[in-house]
């Protein structure tokens, strides 16, 4: 199942210089002189991820990586350009999305699972395995607001990866979760999903993760496509630029 990104541009409008006082803000609004500026998060980005390919997106913070994933998944509509992908076949994997801090861990499994389309029967069947993988036996009746950030991440990861690998899998920094032992477990599970035949698009700040798991690397820099190709070559150029070289 291919993912084709064609000339995608994404612009956001954000408030410009803030009013110095409430009076000035009111006057601006009355006179319709509120100041806004346009921020370009993605600037004419095009690439293709072929069926069965594993593509890693790299780039500094603020380069547009997460915005791009949301557009591909259908959560955002681009200002210009289009994405060709079967969105019914896409699973976007992020950690802890939809967790309610006032509900228990168990309640959040069923709530968040339902929001991502998992049936109660499936969750009943997988519940013990999810808890065991997260290492949270004895904590599931506690409210999530009492969890550490690591516990929330582990539970989110265990829930998000409980189902079989989808045809298109999008991973947003999911291999940096938890302590060293849990990271090894999570990397193993993700590798199983990646090599299960899915078309995969993943964001990671770890060049080792990109080199070890990807067949293609895509480098975004300040919203522009800087380079795409073999992971070793793209990662080396990125590292060279970050170290002060010309890339």
Which tens digit of pLDDT belongs to each residue from 35-59?
667 899 999 999 999 998 999 999 9
Helices 149-160 and 180-194 meet at what angle, rounded to 10? 20
With b meaning 16 or more CB within 10 Å and e meaning fewer, what string describes 10-48? beeeeeeeeeeeeeeeeeeeeeeeeeeeeeebbbebebe
pLDDT at 70 over 70: yes
pTM over 0.85: no
pLDDT of 101-119, one tens digit each? 999 999 999 998 888 778 9
- Write down the pLDDT at residue 237: 96
Spatial CA neighbour of 210 closest among 181, 239, 182, 189: 239
Rounded Cα distance, 72 and 186, in Å: 24
95 pLDDT band, cuts 50/70/90, is low
In the block, tokens 């109660």 appear at: 120
pLDDT in tens, 142-164: 999 999 988 988 898 888 888 87
């Amino acid at each position: 199942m291919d993912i084709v990104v064609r000339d995608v541009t994404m612009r956001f409008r954000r408030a410009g210089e803030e009013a110095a006082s409430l009076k000035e803000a009111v006057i601006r609004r009355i006179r319709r002189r509120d100041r806004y500026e346009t921020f370009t998060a993605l600037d004419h980005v095009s690439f293709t991820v072929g069926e069965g390919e594993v593509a890693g997106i790299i780039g500094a913070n603020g380069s547009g990586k997460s915005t791009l994933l949301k557009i591909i998944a259908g959560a955002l509509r681009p200002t210009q350009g289009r994405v060709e992908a079967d969105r019914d076949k896409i699973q976007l994997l992020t950690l802890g999305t939809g967790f309610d801090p006032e509900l228990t861990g168990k309640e959040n499994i069923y709530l968040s699972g339902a929001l991502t389309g998992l049936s109660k029967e499936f969750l009943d069947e997988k519940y013990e395995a999810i808890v065991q993988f997260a290492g949270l036996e004895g904590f599931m009746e506690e409210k999530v607001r009492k969890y550490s950030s690591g516990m929330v991440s582990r539970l989110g990861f265990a829930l998000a990866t409980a189902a079989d690998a989808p045809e298109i899998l999008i991973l947003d920094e999911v291999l940096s979760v938890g302590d060293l032992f849990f990271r090894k477990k999570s990397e193993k599970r993700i590798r199983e999903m990646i090599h299960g035949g899915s078309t995969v698009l993943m964001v990671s700040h770890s060049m080792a993760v990109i080199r070890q798991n990807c067949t293609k690397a895509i480098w975004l820099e300040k919203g522009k496509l800087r380079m795409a190709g073999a992971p070793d070559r793209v990662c080396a150029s990125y590292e060279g630029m970050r170290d002060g070289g010309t890339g």
